[in-house]
Amino acid sequence: MRLRDIMSVAVETIHPDASVEEARELIRRQDVHHLVAVEADTIVGVLSEHAMRMAAGDTAVRALMSAPAVTATPDTTIRQAANLLRGNHVGCLPILDPRQRLVGIVTTSDLLDLIGKGVTREQIDGARHRSWVPGR
């Protein structure tokens, strides 16, 4: 299983100089938990709802976002994604296609979902595994 199989394609972006108030409004309106900070068509960071929980409304997004953003590709495996999230202490990975366009986002919650549902080793490694089916 790869990130293309679990990523959310609806990604909300915000300018790093926008205020926390604007970010909160966007998060509420779009019903998301993470925003990708984009400046001059470049991803410069990510902002989680949790990170601005206690911040004043006039604080700039730049002050609270995790930067630089750690990104992945649609072909990144679940296992690699877990290591990226954990190793960089971030809550989400913006997904970029080979042309460096933002095509999706994967969050820690998506991976927790997999564990909660019961993920198999083959899915974690992204191996092209063919299940054995009785009578085949």
Pairing mode, strands 13-14 and 34-39: parallel
Asked if residue 125 binds another protein (CB under 8 A), the reply is yes
| Site string (54-73) toward another protein, x via CB under 8 A | xx---x---xx---------
Residue from 5, 75, 97, 113 binding another protein (CB under 8 A): 113
Taking Cα atoms as reference points, which of 126, 93, 135 lies closest to residue 110?
A: 93
| Residues 2-61 close enough to bind another protein by CB under 8 A | 48, 50-51, 53-55, 59
Binding span for another protein by CB under 8 A among 5-13, 21-29, 76-84, 93-101:
76-84
What is d(CA 74, CA 94) in angstroms, rounded to the nearest whole number?
10
Instruction: Compute the C-alpha angle 89/5/24, nearest 5°.
Output: 50
* Distance in Å, CB of 115 to another protein, minimum: 4
Show Cβ contacts of residue 121 under 8 Å, excluding neighbours closer than 6 positions: none
Binding span for another protein by CB under 8 A among 24-32, 37-45, 92-100, 116-124:
116-124
| Cβ–Cβ < 8 Å for 111, 123 | no
What is d(CA 23, CA 52) in angstroms, rounded to the nearest whole number?
9
Residues near another protein (CB under 8 A): 48, 50-51, 53-55, 59, 63-64, 78-79, 82-83, 85-86, 89, 108-109, 111-121, 124-125, 131-134
